[in-house]
A and B are shown apart, each in its own frame.
Chain A
């Protein structure tokens, strides 16, 4: 590697770092500040942004090889992680390769769940934090701003973000296909298990109103209702009150169906114009399959949701290759623009020399 200051990435992600190591490497905001303080201006790092998510801790900046080594050492010391353990999982790239990596990350191409949306916001937060800390200079400004443009282009011009790939999100997507908006949709959660809880949370996160929880054990229903800021309802009331809800998530451990076709038919008589979405996540099933025959009733069980999630995953993967080609072109163009600012050759991976004063 060259001794010249160049744009670099250093870090570890879900690709090579197991969950236990990622937990140790995680950098909350106060620790990022502590690391910046430890490094100080003397470390020779001219610009630095820190991206810390549940799947990765990565540093993006401008520095020479010696300064990057100091950063690595200080980081390991701060986190109490043996240098060898970090070295085994780390990824280090410079120049155009680092730019390409950042673009892949921001576009969601490097995510565990390809195409996920959250990472884009997290990269933006990392850039904002660097700006607030006075650690973003001309190179980071240029690189990040262009990266955001290119990542948006990739996300909108390919189908990598289309279609949900988790059962809970597929259920939410289907509800949107039925109701358009979820803000007026009333959600009933039957059963207080983990999968039901996750699905109810997914509905709330996409704008659904206060859910209602019903469980055979009322105390468990109330516990979960507290956790979700939801309402609790006695379980026996659920079939009677079915018509008052738009989305019913069933995830009980009952050995037989708890929602019968007759109960659904009675509910629909009270609301003929409004659809009813039944999400049956239970095994054995909680809703009698014959309920799906009723007008305006949409019943999806675990298999149905899993099939849709699989199909979406396959569709996304087929788009990844196309997205990577676009990302490689955009990253190469960007590096060609940025490299002259660093006094290096934009055509090479790491570039060469130019000394300027460290930032901060």
Chain B
């Protein structure tokens, strides 16, 4: 195996995701459906390379690599890709692979392109407690589910627009049916809320006896995201809001969820001084 650093593996993974996105875009521009097998293979390759990169990083930090914004973005992309590889084929939804590749490419490339997000000064957030580590991993994995949900919601909105505006030809014809997308969305929303609930429950077990260790901004941001998704699910299951509204909410909430990573992350880092920022180097871990 080549002796590459974790970031180099992650760059290769990002290149695979970008290749999947390019493959889908070229096919759509040519008015053809992309090969599902090729898309699956490209995403699987990206996932394998990213797993390798994150594993190297995890070994270096001796824990789940969720210690800074870069790692959070990477882990979210990894979660979305893994979900697609596991459940995407069950859904048999055309274009889901394409949009997953797009999301994973954006998250990984943006995180790699901002070296400051991978600053060397990382805080040992988890200490020696594996439950807190599980809490963080579940939370970020739920963000991956919400990422996939944002994709299917965007597909729903496009399909709804095409049917309402009567533009059903061209690449709109590759989109799945509106009812299938709605059903998938509700299932993903349920799974995401369940994961985030479990994550908060695990975190609460540790933090309730030690409230002084809880950062208020982080707590508010996380609970707000959880509450918003849970409310959206409740309203949808209760038939109180149309599927289109839910789709808009899921797209907007995922944006908000990504933004909420900032207070979550800052709770673990003291704000860097200008001198420290200038001097900050990115974490580079090489395979032993």
Residues of A within 8 A of B (CB): 159, 162-163, 173-174, 176-180, 272-275, 292, 295-296, 298, 300, 304, 307-308, 311-312, 315
Contact = CB atoms under 8 A, between A and B. Distances in A.
B164 to A, nearest CB: 7
23 contacts: A159-B31, A162-B173, A176-B177, A177-B159, A178-B177, A178-B178, A179-B177, A180-B177, A180-B179, A272-B240, A272-B241, A272-B242, A273-B236, A273-B239, A273-B242, A275-B178, A295-B244, A296-B242, A298-B163, A300-B166, A308-B166, A308-B168, A308-B169
Nearest to B164: A298
Q: In the complex, which range does the number of interface residues on chain B fall in?
A: 20 to 34
Nearest to A270: B239
A65 B129 CA distance: 90
B180 A180 contact: yes
A300 B168 CA distance: 12
B176 interface: yes
Contacts of B173: 162-163
A173 B163 CA distance: 11
Closest 7 CB pairs of A and B: A180-B177, A180-B180, A295-B242, A272-B239, A179-B179, A298-B163, A178-B178
A275 B179 contact: yes
A295 to B, nearest CB: 4
Contacts of A180: 176-177, 179-180
A292 B179 CA distance: 18
Given A178-B178, A179-B177, A273-B182, A296 B166 contact: no
B242 A315 contact: no
Given A275-B178, A308-B168, A311-B169, A174 B244 contact: no
A308 B172 CA distance: 13
A296 B173 CA distance: 19
Nearest to A300: B166
A224 B182 CA distance: 35
Given A180-B176, A273-B239, 16 more contacts: A173-B168, A174-B168, A177-B159, A177-B162, A178-B163, A178-B178, A180-B180, A272-B240, A272-B241, A272-B242, A273-B243, A295-B242, A295-B244, A304-B166, A307-B166, A308-B166
B281 to A, nearest CB: 52
Contacts of B31: 159
Contacts of B166: 300, 304, 307-308
Nearest to A177: B177
Contacts of B182: 273
Nearest to A273: B239
A179 B168 CA distance: 14
Contacts of B169: 163, 308, 311-312, 315
Given A159-B31, A272-B242, A296-B242, A178 B179 contact: yes
Contacts of A176: 177
A272 B178 CA distance: 14
A298 B177 CA distance: 13
Contacts of B242: 272-273, 295-296
Interface in B21-44: 31
Contacts of B244: 295-296
Contacts of B239: 272-273
A300 B159 CA distance: 15
Contacts of A295: 242, 244
Interface in B151-176: 159, 162-164, 166, 168-169, 173, 175-176
A308 to B, nearest CB: 6
Nearest to A274: B179
Nearest to A178: B178
Contacts of B177: 176-180
Nearest to B177: A180
Nearest to B166: A304
A155 to B, nearest CB: 14
Contacts of A298: 163-164
Nearest to B32: A159
Contacts of A178: 163, 177-179
Nearest to B178: A178
B178 to A, nearest CB: 5
B157 to A, nearest CB: 13
A292 B180 CA distance: 21
Contacts of A311: 169
Nearest to B186: A273
A33 to B, nearest CB: 44
Contacts of A312: 169
Nearest to A277: B163
Interface in B161-218: 162-164, 166, 168-169, 173, 175-180, 182
Nearest to A312: B169
B52 to A, nearest CB: 36
B168 A177 contact: yes
B199 to A, nearest CB: 28
Contacts of A274: 179
Looking at A173, A180, A300, A311, which has the most chain B CB atoms within 10 Å of its CB? A180
B165 to A, nearest CB: 11
A179 B244 CA distance: 15
A177 B243 contact: no
A2 B88 CA distance: 59
Nearest to B239: A272
A47 B197 CA distance: 72
B93 to A, nearest CB: 10
A270 to B, nearest CB: 10
A296 B179 CA distance: 10
